[in-house]
Chain A
């Protein structure tokens, strides 16, 4: 089954404790991205990757890091999480540039206390 998987689905952590949210797709997609979804603000892009070893900032990259060492994986790293990073996070992938259908993962709900 074609899918994007994210882990964990739910995470409660404390300020400053490094964490990684994993994202993996099995569709051989070249384009992957991370979004955060907040009430009243909608979906905002954090980082994206056009292909392996090619990543770039989206609209809200502060406090986040990503890497794309393999085509299928695109982890999101929070080196020192803060409460304002409490949000619902989605990983997405597509065959090519964003004009193609985006396949979204199920989401990771992160709470930073």
Chain B
């Protein structure tokens, strides 16, 4: 069974701090996606990483895909209250029919 494990589960930090969220698996994924979900809304795609070792930057967010394509990380520099939300990683199952989601990291950034 393919699983994606995210850590930490909860993160509460002050504005301006840096943080890293991890997404790990024992399975190889062809690609991984990162979504952010705000209260009362559905998840919204932030980025898709496809190549092992790939690094993508989205303003203050940096996403990395592990060389073996089994893990990924999301690093936020100088977090802001607007970064508050649930961060989810997701990968395609082996049958190619569904996304498997990690359980998410709830981030709270206070000013």
Contact = CB atoms under 8 A, between A and B. Distances in A.
Interface string B38-49: 001111110010
B55 interface: no
8 contacts: A40-B103, A41-B103, A42-B101, A90-B42, A98-B92, A101-B45, A102-B45, A107-B41
Contact of B98 (A40, A45, A104, A107): A45
Contact of A43 (B40, B45, B101): B101
Given A90-B42, A97-B92, A107-B42, A102 B48 contact: no
A104 B96 contact: no
Instruction: Give chain B's interface secondary structure class.
Output: loop
- Ranked nearest first, the 10 interchain pairs of A and B with the lowest CB-CB distance are A104-B42, A42-B103, A43-B101, A98-B99, A101-B45, A45-B98, A98-B92, A104-B43, A99-B92, A90-B42
Contacts of A33: 98
Contacts of A74: none
B104 A42 contact: yes
B88 interface: yes
B97 interface: yes
A9 B44 CA distance: 18
B29 to A, nearest CB: 10
B62 interface: no
A21 B45 CA distance: 24
Given A45-B99, A48-B98, A107-B42, A99 B88 contact: no
A106 B42 contact: yes
Contact of A56 (B40, B43, B97): B97
B51 interface: no
B40 A107 contact: yes
Nearest to A44: B101
